[in-house]
Chains A and B, each alone.
Chain A
Amino acid sequence: MNAGVTAPPVDLRIDLAGVELDHPVLNGSGTFDAIAALRTFGDEIRERFPFSAFVSKTITVAPRGGNPPPRLWETPSGLINSIGLPNRGLTGFLEHDLPVLATVPVPLIVSVAGFSHEEFATLVRAVSERGEVAALELNVSCPNVKSGCIVGTEAGEMGALMRRVRPLTAKPLIVKLTPNVSEIGPVARAAQDGGADALSLINTLRAVAVDPVSGAPWLGAGSGGLSGPAVRPVALALTAEVAAATELPLVGMGGIQQGRHALDFIAQGASCVAVGTESFRDPMAGKRVRDELARELQFRSLRRVHDARGVRSTS
């Protein structure tokens, strides 16, 4: 670009599986609690909400207290968590949480997890009929108690789940993929073939922390999941793999801290990105990543987010 020539403004708006978003930066499920943020920061969080859509913490049919502490362990450039999906359960969510989340001025995506296809069906049916909900995300990193296997690790399980829940709603279904697989492509394709509207990835990488004194597992539940910058290269590789295996829009995430990292995920095939662990360090990280991404695009004279596909961030 010649000096003195102003680049045209960047249009960050994006359509994610039919949900109109002002920009491509969402939150990762379970990494931002809009209700607790309201209690901590007050109404300003509504006025300057850092994400273009709010993805809820995963809800289950029955209430869950979550795993026994300790639940956290800091690693080099990362964090292992073992939270265990604490939530009020479906009824509690619909009664208490949803009315508050509906006051957040961005589309609401509700993350759900079932321990059987029936539980998934119950959740999808009940959540999708609520007008406040724009889309659902299926957390398939939990075990199916009937088959004993984790849905997101088996293409056959993935396809069977989609066949069960797809007919239950016309709302967009986003499948959150787990990285803890030998091959992610077949699972992603099974989700696509089963009627998923979009895919998000990655969930955390299975990880263990060792108590430095006793040598026993540190986390109350034994093992947990690794997130943060430490997993970013893994997430980028899996994003590229899934982009090659499917035609679905992707929400890429894993250690995104800056706009440049978001651009890397888009370059690898993501349409949107999500910020997770970085929000723990900086509650407004989502907004910062959005602003930095706009500057990265403008710097490259790219007008829209999808123009960045295949673009190298390190130019």
Chain B
Amino acid sequence: MSTPVAGAIEGPRTLAPLGRRLCRVTGRAGVGPYVLVAAADPDGPEPAPGQFYMLSAAAGWGGESGRPHLGRAFSVCRTREGRLEFLLEAIGPGTERLAELEEGDGLWLVGPLGIGFTQPPAGSRALLVGGGIGIAPLVIWAEALPGPGLSSRLSSHLSLLGFRSGEYAEAADLFPGHVLVATDDGTGPNAHHGLVTDLLERELAPTDVVYACGPHPMLEAVRRICVARDVEAQLALEAGMACGFGACFGCVVLTRTGFRRLCVDGPVVRAAELAEEWH
């Protein structure tokens, strides 16, 4: 295969302390069907919004069947006074174990890893587009952006969030500022019955910068809309990762200049840099 290896990309990156560190879970809360796990990280730095951590439970990792074996990558959802908060959905052996962690349990952590979101230019509005569990890195980003104005048009940012149903859409409460919600089945207060990208088509203004995270079909729709309207979009992508720090070369995405490792040259990638057939 002749696809080259893309060159190193830089962006907002807080260096990780070397190695993994054992942290304590300080709390666990349900957010609709999702779980928000908080862990004290007294020795870690403040992550840049969009960066991620490799997580594994100190006990019971390996389960009864030898899985999970490797750590699992999670964008940080929020930070609160030296605590990191991660939004989880239990869908496999790794997330199931992490979602059942209780206060006081040990959590191995490597991070912060990768590069995060880049600030929008002065005067432009940040349009945050999240789908399902992919809303996680947009929460910390929404908190980092300047506060809301009186209307969404005059505000520094507006969040558009898509969920399966009103039950999942409870997670929209994590966001500060103006929020519009879409659900697949139309349930949930004031929810648009349809796709979050319907809201994007409606709300997108030429001076916006779009920040998106969610399932890949949603991100591909966001990419197409933004490329067609010549609006900058930064997409937080996901791929199976073994290490999170560039060692395994497993988490590549196809860009216009070749395969890029999402762990060291992402996970935030500019939409215009992705190859048409990236997804």
Contact = CB atoms under 8 A, between A and B. Distances in A.
Interface of A: 30-33, 35-37, 39-42, 44-45, 48, 57, 63-79, 81, 83-84, 86-88, 228-230, 277, 279-284
Contact of B242 (A68, A79, A84, A230): A79
Max count, chain A CB within 10 A of own CB: residue among B4, B242, B261 = B242
Contact of A33 (B108, B240, B246, B251): B246
A11 to B, nearest CB: 25
Given A76-B66, A83-B250, A283-B19, A66 B245 contact: no
A63 B69 contact: no
Given A31-B247, A36-B264, A283-B110, A63 B5 contact: yes
B248 interface: yes
A222 B66 CA distance: 23
B264 A40 contact: yes
Given A66-B1, A69-B253, A282 B67 contact: no
Given A66-B5, A283-B19, A284-B19, 20 more contacts: A40-B113, A45-B18, A64-B5, A65-B3, A65-B4, A65-B258, A69-B250, A71-B250, A72-B240, A72-B251, A74-B68, A74-B69, A74-B242, A75-B69, A277-B242, A281-B69, A281-B70, A282-B110, A283-B245, A283-B247
B104 to A, nearest CB: 22
B247 A280 contact: yes
8 contacts: A44-B17, A69-B254, A74-B68, A78-B69, A81-B242, A83-B248, A281-B20, A283-B19
A284 B245 CA distance: 12
Contacts of B252: 66, 69, 71, 86
B68 to A, nearest CB: 7
Contact of B20 (A45, A71, A277, A282): A282
Given A65-B2, A77-B69, A83-B248, A280 B243 contact: yes
Contact of A36 (B15, B20, B65, B261): B261
A65 B2 CA distance: 6
Contacts of B67: 74-77
Q: In the complex, which range does the number of interface residues on chain B fall in?
A: 35 or more
Contacts of B241: 72
A41 to B, nearest CB: 4
B69 A86 contact: no
Interface of B: 1-5, 8, 13, 15-20, 56, 62, 65-71, 108, 110, 113, 239-243, 245-254, 258-259, 261, 263-264
Nearest to B113: A40
A149 to B, nearest CB: 21
Given A66-B252, A69-B253, A86-B249, A44 B243 contact: no
Contacts of B249: 30, 33, 57, 66, 71, 83, 86
Contacts of B56: 281
B3 A69 contact: no
Which among B241, B243, B263 has the highest number of chain A CB atoms within 10 Å?
B243
A57 B69 CA distance: 23
Contacts of B5: 63-66, 86-88
Contacts of A79: 69-70, 242
A64 B2 CA distance: 6
Contacts of B251: 69, 71-72
A69 B8 contact: no
B19 A282 contact: yes
Contacts of A33: 245-247, 249
A61 to B, nearest CB: 13
